[in-house]
Amino acid sequence: MDATLDPAMQFPTPFLWGAGGSAHQVEGGNRANDWWRFEQMPGAIRHCDSSAVACDHYTRFDSDFALAAADHHNAHRLSFEWSRIEPERGRYDAAAIAHYHAVLDSLARHGLAPVVTLHHFTNPLWIADAGGWEAPGTIARFVEFARFCAREYGAQVAWWCTVNEPEVFAFRGWSEGIWPPGLRDNSRALAVIANQLEAHGHAYRAIHEECARAAPGRTTHVSFAKHRVGLVPLRAWHPLDRLQCHFENRVFNEAVEQAHCEGVIDLSVPGAKRVKRQVPELRGALDFYGLNWYTRWGVKAFASEPHVALPGAVLNDLGWELWPEGLEAALRAAGRFGKPVVITENGVADATDALRPHAIVAAAQAMLRARAAGVDVRGYLHWSLLDNFEWAEGYHGCFGLYAVDFGDPARPRTRRRSAEVLSRLAQANALTDAVRDAAASAVA
């Protein structure tokens, strides 16, 4: 590292630098889960896109990890596909188990620390058909799966996320109805969030127990990945917009965050059945705060589109406001809990790569400012390494540091210029002039 570099521009050592993806979005061939079945419904996915092949990462993981390693990444976020490992209740598939061992071995060879997510939105069909996350029994089934994975892979994995964005998972599937199971019932959505949080509390204990046996003396880090979205009243002067924004922020951000503090789940929104539950296992069940951050929305009460980008905002390809300044506020909010913070997702849907280079620099600046304010930021995992299947948006949202040509059966990867920005940032472990120059030249 340049000895003349301003210490304020340096990140601590060690620091996690990398990118991520989830199994269903990149692997291809995941046909035994509820998302694959949902994709078969006419109109469910933009342009009738399919995850059938996705990025073909299931067979190409080693070369994909080589790309990340060449870009000086030292970590990678991935998920284990539950429906592969346990295609039927209690039956664990030996080939799938061996596959994920091979994936973890490849990550180790390439110097990438795995950050493993156990539930990234998909459910085995046997779980979905038994009531999914509305069914209380799913809590125990997921904890069994988490325990199995920790026992099987605990010697290879130190960083774990139990569930990804429980609030997004619930509201997309049970309130907005645009993800499986395609329902519109806020009371049921709140119950799903509560069940995922309770499952996290129990799984947290199970993972620690099994990893302590699998890797004695090593520190294991367990969290969930929390999507912290910026919400502001679209019309600051309008009392109903302010009230709606208050309730949404309370349930979507604050209540989910607070649940681990005292082991109490307390979720409510107007017109829905309140969920209040004591879960002792949830208390303190957070070793780090896994922060997913993307954007903010203007909230408008009683509108056909209750969440809209603010007037005049710069938008990404999905119509989300580009607001990297909000990352610092999100980090400060996460830091209130006194835990280390790892940014488990942050990125831009930007097929032309016009916005992403400067957004990466802005994210680094936000992390440095947050650290200067006392937030213990420990890592940055960009979303995503590859363009991938973006759920109901199909292949429309291109988040990848590497573009993937989904029209070509070979699925070629093309390095975007923004990959160089993150590469230099990771290599220097600091926000250097070379990083800024790479961002400037990328969009020149």
Q: Which two tokens stand for residue 298?
A: 């203007």
pLDDT score at 1 = 44
In a domain, residue 261? The reply is: no
In a domain, residue 250? The reply is: no
In a domain, residue 60? The reply is: yes
Half-sphere exposure of 177 (CA within 13 A, CB side): 7
pLDDT score at 2 = 52
In a domain, residue 301? The reply is: no
pLDDT score at 7 = 83
Q: Which two tokens stand for residue 204?
A: 């947290």
pLDDT score at 303 = 86
pTM for this entry = 0.97
Average pLDDT over every residue of 412-436:
97
Collapse the DSSP code of 199 into the 3-class scheme (helix H, G, I; strand E, B; otherwise coil) and give the result: helix
Q: Which domain holds residue 328?
A: 11-233+288-296+321-442
- What is the per-residue pLDDT across 183-194, written as a single tens digit (0 to 9) for each? 999 999 999 999
Mean pLDDT across the chain: 96
- What is the per-residue pLDDT across 30-56, written as a single tens digit (0 to 9) for each? 999 999 999 999 999 999 999 999 999
pLDDT score at 402 = 98
Measured CA to CA, the distance from residue 305 to residue 295 in angstroms comes to 16
Phi (first) and psi of residue 148, to 5 degrees: -60, -45
Average pLDDT over every residue of 421-429:
98
- What is the per-residue pLDDT across 334-351, written as a single tens digit (0 to 9) for each? 999 999 999 999 999 999
In a domain, residue 238? The reply is: no
DSSP conformation class of 82: H
Average pLDDT over every residue of 350-373:
97
Average pLDDT over every residue of 323-333:
95
Q: Say if residues 179 and 392 touch (Cβ distance below 8 Å).
A: yes
Higher pLDDT, 8 or 310: 310
Say which CATH number the domain at 185 has: 3.20.20.80
User: Could you give the percent of the chain with pLDDT greater than 90?
Assistant: 95
Measured CA to CA, the distance from residue 360 to residue 386 in angstroms comes to 16
pLDDT score at 306 = 86
- What is the per-residue pLDDT across 66-91, written as a single tens digit (0 to 9) for each? 999 999 999 999 999 999 999 999 99
- Name the domain count of the chain: 1
Average pLDDT over every residue of 395-406:
97
**Which residue in the block uniquely carries the two structure tokens 């990352």?**
327
Measured CA to CA, the distance from residue 154 to residue 214 in angstroms comes to 5
pLDDT score at 3 = 47
Measured CA to CA, the distance from residue 257 to residue 224 in angstroms comes to 10
pLDDT at 361 over 90: yes
- What is the per-residue pLDDT across 301-310, written as a single tens digit (0 to 9) for each? 988 888 999 9
Measured CA to CA, the distance from residue 168 to residue 170 in angstroms comes to 5
The dihedral sign for the CA sequence 44, 49, 54, 55: negative
In a domain, residue 397? The reply is: yes
pLDDT at 171 over 60: yes
Measured CA to CA, the distance from residue 97 to residue 79 in angstroms comes to 13
In a domain, residue 263? The reply is: no
In a domain, residue 82? The reply is: yes
pLDDT at 4 over 80: no
